Structure 1
């Protein structure tokens, strides 16, 4: 007598895949926490231990991180379509293992830059893959809710670790205590990914509406890149908004702690200000992601970009802890309107057969904003001062919101057949 293995039928939906979905939420919280080990400490390490007085020199680690993460995002989409999601996720965690060691032992700034190259590659592979896996599981509905939960977990992880490392740095010094916490997060994330995370690629391959007309919807890597970057009105609008959003996030990461510290704020308050932005950003996404499923993507993206621009102006004009606290919270709220909505918008337009690659292209452009932000902010701050750098980035953010208002289609979030046939050049 032969026995056939019973294979459970694939199911789509948040509730239907809740245990695995929540596991991936936890994994992405650890991905964010791994990044959060640097947010408060590294800008101060640059000035206090390595004597990097020029802003453009201190921001080299963000430039390295942004370029590495942007490239890894693109590779993550391509590799996860070809080889599966889980191997890419595990590889990302393995690459993160040396990062805390390099940061603790670094005798020169070059070691810190090298650590951030590894961290960027790791973040690109792990974060991109958790995004794609959640899209696979939830199917064509409730993408905004899924992305809100994913991004909330990641950025609450960033915020919580930024506060914790600020405290550890104040009590025990800038090294090694803050980075030992990062090492613990990396070890836990790798263990969960290897032992408990399941592959989700088949969910995308057999998604309702996704397997139909495969010859028509099968696209080369070049076609996906051109569609997502330039040709499709909605995809290209989303890509440029993501780039500008992370441009101002690079500014917040690299220069704001220095701005607050040079104003005379104690390290504990600098840690709070550094953390409140990703904390509001993370928590508010639990609401904004779901709202984008009901209201549509475009309005939230435009409003969020303009809100960020206003917050940056208020930060440039601020001079004390209370004023900066309110402005940083407003910046987090504006970012929360944009971040999960952009990701959900990519999932709306891209066909399941090339959705992972489209997400990779979008995240290539988005995280390229870190590198551009480091260059723009560093050079401008050296030449004109911190406040001028913040104002210039605020103007770019407002212009990005206007471009989305003029170019992006309005109803791509609706589950219609047109969602699989992008165009609208």
Structure 2
């Protein structure tokens, strides 16, 4: 028989560099548990966070607020271990913001002044995006003291000669965000530098973009009526409400459009998404919802259909199974990942959160449409039961990122 190790091995004496190497391979729930082992491990975990070297890929989480946590805290429901982790969020209070995007571990939020912020709930870091007043169709109306009294939103696109389809609509400073912002997608983790934000906004689901650190938003004048957008291979791929896919290459303050997939849908559909896959395919995801007529009225996802874009034949092909992959849709940037890499996820399932343009505010006090859809069984199950989150802000998927901005 081999020699048995001493029973009194002191794991706290492991070298710091060995501990750091091991800790950097753990998902954050296991890292937090490691910090509770002893003071040596706790100090090493803190050093890993402080030095910004912790960049282990994370299983997606659901982020939301609760009454118990209050407006200045968010809770993460980890799909890795099915536990809840509370994070205190810097002001303005997260409970008073709109969430209009989630990319690379960062939330895109709109505060009570309708200004946009990038927020990393894992690190507490926050960055401002360009002022709302620099958006083409937004006009600030000042009071006698020079402060902003309200905003006016004009209804026109880039058609020449310019035609305003209706009179500008006035909005309170805190109200504009509800009507203006639909979805914001980031090109990369802002802590990596040279991050571009692209926005789908009203009126008419047009596009804007800005680099983090820019002073203004740049209006994309080539098209409108977009539903979703992703970033891959150095460009943004925006899908319109008829299933057409347009590639946008950003250079300076200009965006060049290439139509790479024609419109395929015979009808306009608002809840449609675009995603790349680990194997390199491009998917279109079509989400069907219904409203209940009982009080309070509720929105429910009833069916999700997935199609592959065949670029050679310029048509979509029904996908009946994702195999080992899982999809995430909602206000997050739409993504598809392999459950072989994240075994705690359910293969051939679509994880969804509420992002219906018209329901978000009209049904603000109602149940949020959050769940997991099985493509095999065509049924919806709860992420967690009973649901723990408040109805506002809307819960959203996020993949935690602990990489810090280099000062």
State TM-score, norm by structure 1.
0.22
Q: Normalized per residue, which structure has more helix?
A: 1
